[in-house]
Amino acid sequence: MAQDTDKRNFALRETGGEEPSVFSGRTPRQAALKAARRLDPADSEVAAKANSTTIQLREKGTTKVHVYEGWAWNERAPDDKPDWMPTEITKGNVSKEGVEHLEEI
């Protein structure tokens, strides 16, 4: 089993500076993809990308804020899906916009 020592925590920042959720991943992009799947999904990827949302993730213990444009859409599950998986799943994608630094935490 993989060790959790490589994982880092990223707090989702809202416009007021609140941090209601924490996502973990080895890279900021991995955490951003998890956050993107929680967005309100569109019917297709094209429609979703047109209505992308800014996702800001602060790396815990630092003042670095990773900024992404994220979008989500619903898609039919693959034919070889396990029994527990629903027939429609939410997929997400992100595009990195840059890194900002906060004055203080």
Residue extents of the structural domains in the chain: 4-101
Report yes or no on whether pTM surpasses 0.75: yes
Sheet containing strand 88-101, strands side by side: 21-25, 8-13, 53-59, 64-76, 88-101
Question: Quick check: 2 pLDDT over 90?
Answer: no
Alpha-helix runs per DSSP H in 1-105: 28-36, 45-50
- pLDDT tens, residue by residue, 24-76: 999 999 999 999 999 999 998 889 989 899 999 999 999 999 999 999 999 99
